[in-house]
Chain A
Amino acid sequence: MTSQAAWRIALAVEALAAAEAEIDVFLAAGEVDAHAVFVTRLVVEEVVRNLIQHTPPYESHELTDVRVVVDREAVTVVVEDNRQPFAPGDAPPLDVGAPLEARRTGGMGLHLLRSLTDTLTYEHLGDRNRLTAIIRRA
């Protein structure tokens, strides 16, 4: 049995918060395990929040599309937007062993997504960015 839902989210904090609450409800209805719920939320939070932070206020009317598909094996999250192309594979790795005084916060979100999803792919199609994450269910 496969179920899916989609959200069109304005690039604003309030819109992201509202969508996240609805995604939680959708995952609960699918009886998705706690780890997959957490990582699904993490993908949406990190990707859309990054878009919000890198979008000037005068363009906050722009929309991003989030689709969540739940099947027996996995949760698939697809995020599409029209912002500048961004290749997650080009970002430098995070030094997770750095001592406190040397820790930087940049790159932590991408590191979490790479580490906690089972598959993370990025495509640039025409003027669209598409990031697809697959999280296996317990």
Chain B
Amino acid sequence: MQIEDSTAGDGITRLALVGKLDINGLHEVDLRFHALTAARAQPAIVDLSRLEFIGSLGMGMLISCAQSLQRKGKKLVLFGAQGAVDTALRTAGIDQAIPMATDAPEAVRLLSA
């Protein structure tokens, strides 16, 4: 499990989650993901297009970081989720709590919506 950080200095954190966000994957990325989102305290978009698996623990990580950003008046937006990952996120109602976009430009627009 990897996190790719392509933040470019425009005030928006741009991350991609790549691989399987199961219990093992979560242990690999949890601290870094919190550091890059909640601790950075700026709006963030997260690319899920190469995420192959997510369970409730991984969804909990997304909710926790989105809540931390919300308390600082910032937003986290997800985009690009595919297939069963997209289905699982919507089944758990993640899309009701965290905006979900189809691509990066839409995700950036949702940050200021």
Which residues of A are at the interface with B, using a C-beta cutoff of 8 A?
A: 13-14, 16-17, 20, 34-35, 37-39, 41-42, 45-46, 49, 52, 94-101, 103, 105, 108-109, 111-112, 115-116
Q: Which residue of A lies closest to B27 (CB)?
A: A13
Number of residues on chain B facing chain A (CB within 8 A): 26
A31 to B68, CA, bound (A): 41
CB distance from B25 to the nearest CB of A (A): 9
Judged by DSSP, the binding face of A is helix
Q: Are B88 and A116 in contact (CB under 8 A)?
A: yes
* Residues of chain B within 8 A of A103, CB atoms compared: 63, 67, 93, 97
* Residues of chain A within 8 A of B85, CB atoms compared: 38
Contact with A along B75-90 (1 / 0, CB 8 A): 0000000011101100
Picked from A14, A42, A97, the residue with its CB within 8 Å of the CB of B55 is A42
Of all A-B residue pairs in the complex, the 6 with the closest CB atoms, nearest first, are A96-B93, A38-B84, A105-B60, A109-B56, A17-B24, A108-B56
